[in-house]
Amino acid sequence: MWSHSQALRTPKNSELHIGMMRIDVITIFPEMFPPVLGASIIKRAQEQRLLQVEVHNLRDYTHDKRRTVDDRPYGGGPGMVMKPEPIFEAVEAIAASCQTHPRTCRTVLLSPQGQPLSTAVAQQLATVQHLMVICGHYEGIDERVRLGVVDQAISIGDYVLTGGELPAMVLIDCLARFIPGVIGHAHATEEESFASGWLEYPQYTRPPVFRGMAVPDVLLCGDHQRIARWRTRQSVSRTIASRPDLVTGRRAAKGASTRSAARNGRARTVSQRQRVEASRRQSRVATR
């Protein structure tokens, strides 16, 4: 069995090739994927053979001349529903083509009704060797797809999109960071600090003063203990101000934390101009 933590400690990439992750995407818009998956860290992960993503056109698994993938809903109602036959055939064909050696397999459906995507969900999916990702479209998918081939349904948040393609790319991007070797060790540690539940502290680079806004003095003082304390305080106050749910959400009753989040969300709304003015006032004080 391929272990995430063992692989993290493996120094050479050569051994990781054995555990290379494969992701097969089933979609009616295959052309949406290459521009995203062919860039940046995901591109490098594929070049390094840590990850292999194959995108399949669902219409290739139809048998009629019009390559039909949807139909009207039983019981009536607006919109169209994705037919079960092409999806079942695609999943079965891909699974069969991939059985040269045994792998841990998982079939995921991107759906507004799914489990919310989180660090924990992505981290768990990154340990799977073969992932099949089904992108929904239209008004939905025939329920027998869920019953017959889907192991797990995932949503990326409570807002309505036009399809599962962008959520699938979000999921792939998010889980790829947990594949050993894709991100360096420095970033892996940073990830642990975010997983601890605090937002990041503010960051600055040169120039020391930009358009009247100065870098806080503490970051230039060279006292690493003072800097660390400042950063911790900034993380805490930022989290309380913009994500109180991360502070109280773990223990407090859901209703209470949601009310406090809404209150804080309204109270702290500040325009960009106000923030710039505040920063300039601060830098005038600091340079006096």
- Mark residues 123-152: x for contact with ligand 21W by CB under 6 A, - for none: -------------x--xx------------
Binding of ligand 21W at residue 164 (CB under 6 A)?
yes
Find the angle CA(201)-CA(207)-CA(211) to the nearest 5 degrees. Answer: 90
Q: Where would I find the beta strands (DSSP E) of the chain?
A: 21-27, 51-57, 70-71, 81-82, 105-116, 130-135, 140-141, 152-155, 209-210, 213-214
| Shortest distance (Å) from residue 125 CB to ligand 21W | 14
- Closer CB to ligand 21W, residue 41 or residue 161? 161
Single residue of 2, 4, 48, 163 touching ligand 21W by CB under 6 A: 163
- Mark residues 86-125: x for contact with ligand 21W by CB under 6 A, - for none: ------------------------xxx-------------
- Closer CB to ligand 21W, residue 120 or residue 160? 160
Single residue of 34, 38, 148, 157 touching ligand 21W by CB under 6 A: 157
Q: Quick one: tokens of 188?
A: 């892996």
Nearest to 110 by CA among 150, 53, 59: 150
- Closer CB to ligand 21W, residue 157 or residue 207? 157
With residue 97 as reference, give the H or E element that holds it: helix 84-97
Q: Which residues contact 67 (CB under 8 A, 6 or more apart)?
A: 59
Phi, psi of 112, rounded to the nearest 5 degrees:
-60, -20
| Cβ-contact 45, 51 below 8 angstroms | yes
| Shortest distance (Å) from residue 121 CB to ligand 21W | 12
Residues in contact with ligand 21W by CB under 6 A are: 110-112, 136, 139-140, 155-157, 159-164, 167
